[in-house]
Amino acid sequence: MKRSHERHALILSMVEAQDYVTIEAMAAACETSSQTIRRDLTFLSDANKILRYHGGARRIGGERAPSYEARSSTHVAEKTAAAALITDLIPDDASIFLAGGSTLEYVARALLKRNRLTVVTNNLQAAMVFNEREDFRVHLVGGWMRATSGSLIGTSTSEAISGFSLNYAIVSARGITTDGWLLEYDQDLVGPVAAMLSNAKTSILVADSSKFGSAGIVRTAHLKQIDHFLTERPLKGELADLLRENQVVMHAPKVR
């Protein structure tokens, strides 16, 4: 096992080189336990040498996840237009998973047009929206609260989601890479999304077109795992090709 000053030097070099590094990667490089790395990260964070995240750390000055308020107040028209398409795919009496994120709060509002839905979600804001309907059966799965996504995450969240088998999984993403990976900022968001996609018959991605790019640092899923993509405008060129290559059906408002 490396001494603490050796671990700290190695951690700092890894974070500087990669911007974001997971606890698991640091533990392997330092040949020590995750618990030891967490203590190291607390020390380095208190010394203002790194930015600590649940599941890892990144360098000072690196990209940070924007607040939920900031995310929910941007691209409002685009999110609303994309979310409104959800009622074309979700019928009355359906059972759905709904993941966390500001875009899916707009989806929750659109789903109020449906009747007698069964919903399993880790999205706190969406759960409050669904609370308006007495005929909806809503399961809010537990976990620890991630303020920047307005959702509950963690091992217990993923385990609870895995106990259900539903018709649809509705997810979003912070970014979509040019090779089809869905990205988020926190590794602990991966488990809940993966569990939803694995335990649903049909998967739906809702994201406005600004999400195509490299925003985010952690892969949550790939477009090949998605059946339908809802966005605010028809996509052309390379973006449309990317969806076709992964056999994803695109849905966008009709141009009038």
- Map out the domains of the chain as residue ranges: 4-59, 69-251
Q: By mean pLDDT, which of 16-20, 35-39, 65-69, 212-216 is the weakest?
A: 65-69
CA angle, 136 then 82 then 161, to 5°: 45
First to last CA, the chain: 66
Judged against a pLDDT cut of 90, whether residue 25 lies above it is answered with no
Average pLDDT over the chain reads 87
Q: By mean pLDDT, which of 53-62, 132-141, 167-176, 222-231 is the weakest?
A: 53-62
21 and 44 Cβ atoms separated by less than 8 Å: no
Average pLDDT (140-167) is: 88
Task: Find all residues with CB under 8 Å of 70, minimum gap 6, and list them.
Answer: none
Name the token pair of 23.
């606890």
210 and 175 Cβ atoms separated by less than 8 Å: no
Of 92, 176, 124, 93, the residue nearest 108 (C-alpha): 124
Q: What pLDDT, on a 0 to 100 scale, did the predictor assign at position 256?
A: 47
Q: What pLDDT, on a 0 to 100 scale, did the predictor assign at position 65?
A: 53
Of 75, 62, 51, 57, the residue nearest 172 (C-alpha): 75
Q: What pLDDT, on a 0 to 100 scale, did the predictor assign at position 149?
A: 67
Judged against a pLDDT cut of 50, whether residue 91 lies above it is answered with yes
Q: What pLDDT, on a 0 to 100 scale, did the predictor assign at position 94?
A: 98
Q: What pLDDT, on a 0 to 100 scale, did the predictor assign at position 215?
A: 66
152 and 142 Cβ atoms separated by less than 8 Å: yes
Task: Give me the architecture of the 69-251 domain, per CATH.
Answer: 3-Layer(aba) Sandwich (3.40)
Q: What pLDDT, on a 0 to 100 scale, did the predictor assign at position 63?
A: 53
d(CA 95, CA 186): 27
**Assessment of whether the complete model's pTM goes beyond 0.75:** no
CATH of domain 4-59: 1.10.10.10
Mutual orientation of helices 34-46 and 23-30 as an angle, nearest 10°? Answer: 110
Q: Report strand pairing: 144-146 vs 249-251.
A: unpaired
Q: By mean pLDDT, which of 104-108, 152-156, 205-209 is the weakest?
A: 152-156
Of 38, 85, 122, 117, the residue nearest 254 (C-alpha): 85
133 and 155 Cβ atoms separated by less than 8 Å: no
The 10s digit of each residue's pLDDT in 198-256 is 999 999 999 988 788 656 778 899 999 999 999 999 888 888 999 999 999 999 997 54
d(CA 213, CA 170): 21
184 and 218 Cβ atoms separated by less than 8 Å: yes
